[in-house]
Structure 1
């Protein structure tokens, strides 16, 4: 926190989280109360994160918001709701207005959980700036009413968001629990998705006949997944995560009109992962995928198999981008993979991100 005259400022950095068991559906739109529990991994701050600086002074005459240095014409309803709640809780009613400056290191609104990192960093910065009581639970609440999944980015490691009680989040295992787990994110399309998650969730609740069936399976999957994480059983972890991703997108397809987030590259990657796993003679799962509300897969893999999988990606998604450092690092495809009968998709990838589990947000 910096103090220059009566100007106060706090900057917080937070990363997105990737849902292992998806949150989809709100029983209360205003407070963003989820229909089901969800489980996620918070990413490391190194590659993907949001930086949010919140400042206040007596000379400010209105709230202002800058995204990537460009002043926005008005605050969104959710951001205004967060600020209203902060004012309600703040002890110093002389401080009335704030300036918010936010920047993402990755594309927004493309299924990469940018709203989670953005609102988590905003919530923590506001909580620190105004010295709000019960900072952890307060930051989680503020993050949630901004963007539901942001409640999970308030913590690092493996995080569970409860659909009961106060509907807040908690860390169930810290980053140190499974340090060899890695994430490989394939960005096939960074464009804004055609249907927002908010609109799609509401449409699903109103029209999908599979929605209630999905809800009935979630808690059992979460308990089994937590046990797999506890003993680092990657085979069980991989199967549950991939099946939940498929079920989530099946519910989206069952929505009317259908909500289709996956594209041809997404489907190709799904086939590639299953073919790659079958090449192991011991039937050991090497990699698992999940897709949020977008076409870009998040692949979970143990560190020992990362280079092998990156080699496979280089072969099937060759890039002409000489600056693609990940593609440069890997070797040619191994002969063991010649049995994988899938087409080559040249220049299908915009970017590959190799990252790991993160320890959570920080004030910088």
Structure 2
């Protein structure tokens, strides 16, 4: 990094967001304009985040990018697109190049929305570094052209990404609206997925006969889900979210060649959640799941049921992995033996217990 007196830098933390109603399909590849509205939860930066520092000075002769301390030989085309847009908008013609240093506290490219947090933190850092007008909407635009779902990580709480107008995002409900809401993330596989979301979306749009049918259901589901969140109706919330997750993966399977993100462990968790919800014989749904473009489930639950659910996980996914087990303070509960599913040891790499986040933070 340059040590010149005109060197400036900004650091931003942004967390991934988890889609409740999925975005899948772009009607404009260049501007990343989505085919449908989507709704998400932004996670707490204390538990999962991308940490991005952007620096600039007049002596820099090219753009450079470091990920986890390692200089990358080439900037990704979408990162270059974001930087080109910054240069078009900046009022300081002397500043032409930047140095970007980025780090994730969680695995990248494994269906955990790492590109969303990475491009959101980059967009906010750039917007602040160059003091651009309309900071939040500008950051949202920059994040979107970098990675579509990153537009939702610009805000905290429950966030809607509109498919109309300027296709920007907005906070529907802040994090404190549902303060007892928790998210349990199970990382079964942190490896890079075989088919990127970008490639899979294009393939789906071209070949899936279910794709248009899915689009026709989105608006009604959005209305129902927003109402469920407004009323903190977890039963209604859970049903809509789980059904949308299943529909999304059905569309992926209907793609040719099929895109298969779920693995056997994913399916086991789906069966386990439904069995657990039915275990007490009442009508109360304790936990819901969703899967993004990867095998790792995001489980939604209220605080009152967290301890029991963690014991359930310990019973069915026993492990010698201390990192996966550290969230569970008590022993597995034998009462879960009534659930007739196989116990699968040592399949969990990590458990992350988190909550709804209030949005990105400027660190310096």
TM tier relative to shorter chain: over 0.9
Tell me the equivalent position of 1:95.
95
Following superposition, the deviation at residue 334 of structure 1 comes to 4.4
Structure 1 length-normalised TM: 0.98
Q: Secondary structure at the match of 1:36?
A: coil
Cα deviations by residue, 1:178-233 (Å, 9 ceiling, x for unpaired): 01000000000000000000000000000000000000000100100000000000
What is the rounded CA distance, in whole Å, between the counterparts of 2:307 and 2:297 in structure 1?
17
Following superposition, the deviation at residue 279 of structure 1 comes to 1.1
What is the rounded CA distance, in whole Å, between the counterparts of 2:246 and 2:309 in structure 1?
21
Tell me the equivalent position of 1:306.
306
Tell me the equivalent position of 2:273.
273
Tell me the equivalent position of 2:342.
343
Matches within 5 A, 1:22-37: 22-37=22-37
Tell me the equivalent position of 1:80.
80
Following superposition, the deviation at residue 286 of structure 1 comes to 0.2
Seen in structure 2, the aligned counterparts of structure 1 residues 11 and 217 have a Cα distance that, compared at 3 Å, is same
Tell me the equivalent position of 2:172.
172
Q: Secondary structure at the match of 1:192?
A: coil
Cα deviations by residue, 1:299-357 (Å, 9 ceiling, x for unpaired): 0000000000000000000011235453541332142x222000011001000000000
8 Å CA contact 2:38–2:160 kept in 1: the answer is yes
What is the rounded CA distance, in whole Å, between the counterparts of 1:4 and 1:300 in structure 2?
48
Cα deviations by residue, 1:97-134 (Å, 9 ceiling, x for unpaired): 00000000000000000000000000000000000000
Following superposition, the deviation at residue 280 of structure 1 comes to 2.7
What is the rounded CA distance, in whole Å, between the counterparts of 2:327 and 2:267 in structure 1?
21
8 Å CA contact 2:157–2:358 kept in 1: the answer is yes
What is the rounded CA distance, in whole Å, between the counterparts of 1:195 and 1:82 in structure 2?
23
Matches within 5 A, 1:282-301: 282-301=282-301
What is the rounded CA distance, in whole Å, between the counterparts of 2:328 and 2:163 in structure 1?
44
What is the rounded CA distance, in whole Å, between the counterparts of 2:334 and 2:283 in structure 1?
18
Cα deviations by residue, 1:237-262 (Å, 9 ceiling, x for unpaired): 00000000000000000000000000
Q: Secondary structure at the match of 2:179?
A: coil
What is the rounded CA distance, in whole Å, between the counterparts of 1:4 and 1:186 in structure 2?
45
The answer for unaligned runs of 5 or more in structure 1 is none
8 Å CA contact 2:55–2:98 kept in 1: the answer is yes
Matches within 5 A, 1:318-329: 318-329=318-329
Cα deviations by residue, 1:77-106 (Å, 9 ceiling, x for unpaired): 100000000011100011000000000000
Tell me the equivalent position of 1:154.
154
Seen in structure 2, the aligned counterparts of structure 1 residues 228 and 258 have a Cα distance that, compared at 3 Å, is same
The answer for unaligned runs of 5 or more in structure 2 is none
Q: Secondary structure at the match of 1:184?
A: strand
Across the two proteins, how many residue pairs are aligned to each other? 361
Structure 1 range deviating more: 314-323 or 70-79: 314-323
What is the rounded CA distance, in whole Å, between the counterparts of 1:32 and 1:323 in structure 2?
37
What is the rounded CA distance, in whole Å, between the counterparts of 1:218 and 1:170 in structure 2?
18
Q: Secondary structure at the match of 2:110?
A: coil
8 Å CA contact 1:314–1:330 kept in 2: the answer is no
Tell me the equivalent position of 1:69.
69
What is the rounded CA distance, in whole Å, between the counterparts of 2:220 and 2:156 in structure 1?
23
Q: Secondary structure at the match of 1:300?
A: strand
Following superposition, the deviation at residue 46 of structure 1 comes to 1.0
Q: Secondary structure at the match of 1:74?
A: coil
Q: Secondary structure at the match of 2:53?
A: strand
What is the rounded CA distance, in whole Å, between the counterparts of 1:138 and 1:214 in structure 2?
30
8 Å CA contact 1:15–1:361 kept in 2: the answer is yes
Q: Secondary structure at the match of 1:153?
A: helix
8 Å CA contact 2:25–2:205 kept in 1: the answer is yes
Q: Secondary structure at the match of 1:298?
A: strand
What is the rounded CA distance, in whole Å, between the counterparts of 1:145 and 1:236 in structure 2?
33
Tell me the equivalent position of 2:125.
125
Structure 2 length-normalised TM: 0.98
What is the rounded CA distance, in whole Å, between the counterparts of 2:141 and 2:328 in structure 1?
43
What is the rounded CA distance, in whole Å, between the counterparts of 2:130 and 2:334 in structure 1?
56
